[in-house]
Amino acid sequence: MTCAPRRVFALGCILCGLALAVCSQDSSSRKTARAESRPKPERKLTAQETRGVQLLETAEAEAHSMGAEMRAFLLWEIAHAYRKLRPTKSRELLREAFRAALEIPDDQVPHGCSACVSKPYLEIETLNDLAGESPELVQDLLASKEPDVRRQVDARLVVRLSEQKKFASAREILRKLAGEKDYDYHAATFYLLSLPPGHEEERRAVFREALRNYRDFRSGFSFGGEDFTSMVIRFWRAVPPESALEAIDAILERAKEQNSFSVSMATKKDSFFFISNYKFRLFELLPVLRELDSAKAESLLRDNPDLEPTLKQFPEGMASADAFYQARTVDEYAKGEMLYMNVGGPPSVEGELGRVAANTVDSGTKDPKQAVERALGLPEWGADGMEGPSSRATALTDLARQIGTSNAELARMALTEAAKVLDQINARDGAVLVRQLIDVRLKLGDNDGADRLIRGGIKIAEKLYESDDNPDNRNQASKAQWPSAALWRHLVAFAQETSPRLVEQVIGEVRDPEIQAFQKVALAHILLDAPKLTLQVADVRKGGATFFADF
């Protein structure tokens, strides 16, 4: 009987020990939680980073005195610059940029051009950047947005979530988009290419949804990017034959309805012309149809014998002509070779000159000296004269890039000859050419030559600014998107590679204080090694609007 108390005592000791251990663990957990909740001390900035942050702080202060549109653009750029160094600050500024975009008046439509409105563009881009940080937050912000903005941001979310391998979330959004107009074939293609092996049924389901959307919303003609036809060419082997055949029938049926325009193209291999949209679609799809229903393919070819020579030259259709259609992985996606494509007319002089120039550059790998001599013999101008780009200067610049340091003297000579047109060429094409010339000079290690071109580039930027700010026909796009602002950004980047003194000169000579603020942020991007941000460049006038992915 005397043992029981000892057992109780022993059990009590064990319980006390466990309680002490739990208390100790709780205390330790609380300490750990408190330690984790404390903000981590920022590491000491380098002198270069300190300069970058100072520039951003100055620009942020200037942003708050700007109107909603310019404030949104500038805060968005500043947020990008902070992304690596201070991600929390970056997210805060993105939200602030989004709120500024909401303040832009809805009726601000320059010259009736709905595509020129910066409000939805800024909303889409800021939300797209937030999507990479917090897709859930973006979904909440999207709930009250207009359908066009929501659709475009949803498509970006599909791409971002696919990159992050969050396929279930991406699939849910893609399923929703399938029931709306303006289906984003690029987002769907990116999702399908990102899926790992073993998701065959998922691929078939997305293809069926894309086909249903194509039929229901009667998608129009598209080129230069992903559309339903390119999805068929890329994924027909991954779906049942009957689905692929149904898709081909739908595309050809639609092409007959939209058969009032022609299509011309030029590649490095050759140029060709299709008298109608229907002929072009046949060229794209007949190689696939031959694999699925050879009798029908041969019947269509008999009815359209003019396609036979082109298909002999390009037996796989567009897949033979353009690497874009050959991509089967995300890494290969959109590595096209297309040099020229035009809707509505026969091959232009520019297309033919582009092909000849490209062949000249291709020959440079075998005999660089002879290729440079051939380039010097090219016409200096196309049909538009000095109002268009110089084929000769472009070919010489491309050859110099290709020759590189293997024959630096020859490359420099080609660049010198190419630069002779800078005083004659129009400012827009001059901006493109001077960028290319500076880039090649830097790759050759010729900093002095690059410096001279940068100083010449400043004069071209000033001419562009005079055109952008022309009181008789002012560029109605945001200043952040003006061609002059874009060229100054590139000159800042180039000058930073050659001379800190020169980069300060480039920024100092920008006479518009708002555009100058953007150049400070451009320099901060470089100093902080921030991810590159490419703004859409726009020229919106009374006579029409032109957009560039970059300038």
pLDDT tens digits, 299-326: 999 999 989 988 988 898 887 777 677 7
Q: Distance between CA 387 and CA 427 in Å, rounded? A: 9
Q: What confidence tens digit (pLDDT) does each residue in 173-183 have? A: 999 999 998 89
What's the pLDDT score for residue 347? 42
CB atoms under 10 Å from CB of 457, counted, come to: 26
Q: Distance between CA 193 and CA 330 in Å, rounded? A: 6
Residue 354 has pLDDT above 80, yes or no: no
User: Tokens 């010489």, residue?
Assistant: 396
How does DSSP classify residue 336?
-
- Sheet containing 340-343: order of strands: 271-274, 263-266, 340-343
Residue 379, CA distances (Å) to 358, 393, 528 in order: 14, 10, 44
Q: What confidence tens digit (pLDDT) does each residue in 212-262 have? A: 999 998 765 555 467 899 899 999 999 999 999 999 999 999 988 876 667
Q: Distance between CA 532 and CA 104 in Å, rounded? A: 26
Higher pLDDT, residue 461 or 160: 461
- Angle at which helix 118-133 crosses helix 87-103, to 10 degrees, equals 150
Q: Which tokens is 446 given?
A: 């010729």
CB atoms under 10 Å from CB of 348, counted, come to: 17
Q: What are the structural domain ranges in the chain?
A: 226-347, 349-425
Q: Which tokens is 486 given?
A: 């874009």
> With DSSP H G I counted as helix, E B as strand and the rest as coil, what are the percentages for the chain, rounded to 5?
70, 5, 25
Q: Residue 272 phi/psi, 5° resolution?
A: -150, 160
Q: Which tokens is 491 given?
A: 């000159």
Q: Distance between CA 56 and CA 530 in Å, rounded? A: 12
Q: Which tokens is 147 given?
A: 């359908």
Q: Distance between CA 459 and CA 448 in Å, rounded? A: 18
Q: Distance between CA 533 and CA 551 in Å, rounded? A: 13
User: Tokens 């951003």, residue?
Assistant: 56
- Cα within 13 Å of Cα(55), Cβ side: 27
Q: Which tokens is 319 given?
A: 């897949």
What's the pLDDT score for residue 433? 94
What's the pLDDT score for residue 110? 56
Q: Distance between CA 348 and CA 356 in Å, rounded? A: 13
Q: Which residues pair with 199 in a beta bridge?
A: none
Q: Distance between CA 55 and CA 525 in Å, rounded? A: 10
CB 69 within 8 A of CB 103: no
What's the pLDDT score for residue 29? 43
Q: What confidence tens digit (pLDDT) does each residue in 63-122 have? A: 999 999 999 999 999 999 999 999 999 999 999 999 999 898 876 555 555 455 688 788
What's the pLDDT score for residue 16? 39
User: Tokens 């590139």, residue?
Assistant: 490
Residue 509, CA distances (Å) to 65, 146, 465, 527 in order: 22, 41, 12, 20
Average pLDDT, the chain: 82
Residue 154, CA distances (Å) to 128, 142, 171, 230, 549 in order: 9, 9, 11, 21, 21
The residue type at 495: A
Range from 384-388, 414-418, 425-429 carrying the lowest mean pLDDT: 384-388
Q: Taking CA 234 as the corner, what is the angle to CA 228 and CA 235, rounded to the nearest 5 degrees? A: 90
Classify residue 137 by burial, with Cβ atoms within 10 Å: 0-12, 13-18, 19+: middle
Classify residue 6 by burial, with Cβ atoms within 10 Å: 0-12, 13-18, 19+: exposed
Residue 354, CA distances (Å) to 265, 363, 390 in order: 11, 14, 10
Q: Distance between CA 194 and CA 142 in Å, rounded? A: 25
Chain centroid offset of residue 308 CA: 36
What's the pLDDT score for residue 386? 58
How does DSSP classify residue 116?
G
CB 361 within 8 A of CB 398: yes
Which of 130-134, 386-390, 414-418 shows the highest mean pLDDT? 414-418
CB atoms under 10 Å from CB of 407, counted, come to: 15
Residue 7 has pLDDT above 50, yes or no: no
Q: Are strands 263-266 and 340-343 parallel, antiparallel or unpaired?
A: antiparallel
Confidence of residue 418 (pLDDT cuts 50, 70, 90): very high
Residue 326, CA distances (Å) to 190, 231, 330 in order: 14, 11, 11
Count H helices, E strands: the chain? 25, 5
Confidence of residue 520 (pLDDT cuts 50, 70, 90): very high
Q: Which tokens is 150 given?
A: 């929501």
